[in-house]
Structures are given as structure tokens and as C-alpha cells.
Amino acid sequence: MTAEPDEWFLRIYCSQSDRERGQTVYRRIIEAMQQLGFPGATVFLGCEGFGPHGRISSDATIDAMADLPVMLQAVASRDHIRAIAIELERFRASILITVAATSASRYESAGSA
């Protein structure tokens, strides 16, 4: 029997225009990750993409500028992944979550605290 990996690679996809309780969905997710003790997370703004609606949003189109794709990315423990999944179930926005086992190495500069 193979042991479960210690670290998991998490990606969460949403739209820049998605809102939850007056804030952007990606901001609410980042705040939830921070409160849950994730070691770190990054939000990426896409320049073009489409989702379940099938409409392409692009930074080349003026009217689509507020509806670009957004991806959040983190490496975390299985417990962190489960905790954020529970939080995301409460959201009303369309969110896609992908999780994959990974191995990660951490490097800190000599000046890091």
C-alpha cells in the first residue's frame, strides 16, 4: 500500500467578475486560505479564457476586461485542501478545483526570518 503524499498542488479557477458577499471571489478565497493557515497562495489573472458559459473573455476586448479568468494556486497539506473545499461549498459562484499530489522543496534566502 502506498503512503498518501504530504503535499498537494491546488488550483482554483473562477472569473474576475464573480462576487461573494460584496467582494471578488478570488479575494474571499485568499482570505479564507490565510485564515485556514495555508503556507501561501498566489492569484493569477488570465489574459484570455472561457468557462462553462462558452463565451471567450479576452484582455483585447474592452467589455471583457472585468470578466477575465482567474486562477489561485497553492501547495498545501490534505487537511488544508479539505478545509478550503468545505469553505468553497458555501460560495454561489462557478468554481473549478483541481488537486494533484506533488513534491515540493522550500528554499529561503539567508536573510529570511
CATH code at position 92? 3.30.70.120
pLDDT band at residue 51 using 50, 70 and 90 as cut-offs: confident
Q: What is the pLDDT of residue 79?
A: 95
Residue 45: domain span: 7-102
In a domain, 23, yes or no: yes
Q: How far apart are CA 1 and CA 68, in angstroms?
A: 43
Domain count, the chain: 1
Q: 72 lies in a domain?
A: yes
Mean pLDDT of the chain: 87
DSSP 5-73: PSEEEEEEEEETT-EETTEEHHHHHHHHHHHTT-S--EEEE-SEE--TT---EETTSGGGGGG-EEEEE
